[in-house]
A = this chain, B = another copy of it.
């Protein structure tokens, strides 16, 4: 028999897995990085396009992209002077979807309280 598909039926994660998960969540924990990822969702963007789109300073955009990249959430490709950044791991999109679903459920529940 296959294990039940509930939390109780799952194997606990190893310490190393938990550490890596914490790293991923930590990478996504900053609004500026989520903004950058959101701008990358429709497709690749250069650093200057991201600066323009987010209003962040160039130094900061580069820094946050570096953090996203060292955590393998984005990748880049050079084109002359330009660097094209893109989302490297579809996990990012899924994670945001899961969070948003929960937020929507919460909103519905909150609204229900006052009906």
Contacts and interface: CB of A to CB of B under 8 A. Distances in A.
Interface in A29-53: 29-31, 34-35, 38, 41-43
A90 B106 CA distance: 12
Contact of A7 (B17, B22, B93, B103): B93
Among A35, A89, A100, max chain B CB count under 10 A is at: A100
Nearest to A93: B7
Contact of A18 (B10, B12, B34): B34
Interface residues of A, number: 40
Contacts of A38: 12-13, 18
B95 A98 contact: yes
A59 to B, nearest CB: 21
